[in-house]
Amino acid sequence: MIQIDRRHHQVVLRDLEATLPLEGCGLMAGSGTRVEHLYPIANRLASPYAYEMDPDQQLKAMVDLEDRGWEMLAIYHSHPNGPDTPSQTDVRQAYYPEAAYVIISFRYQQAPSARAFHIIDRQVIEIPYAIVEL
Tell me the per-residue pLDDT of 28-77, one tens digit each, with 9 for 90 and over.
999 999 999 999 999 999 999 999 999 999 999 999 999 999 999 999 99
Furthest C-alpha separation in the chain? 38
Q: Torsion over CA of 83, 101, 17 and 67, rounded to 10 degrees?
A: 180
Query: Is 134's pLDDT higher than 90?
Result: no
Domain 2-132, second-level architecture: 3-Layer(aba) Sandwich (3.40)
Taking the C-alpha atoms of residue 72 and residue 56, their distance in angstroms, rounded to an integer, is: 16
Beta bridge partners, 34, equal 3, 31
How high does pLDDT run on average in the chain? 95
Name the helix (H) or strand (E) containing 115.
strand 113-120
Write down the pLDDT at residue 109: 80
Q: Per-residue pLDDT averaged across 92-117, rounded?
A: 94
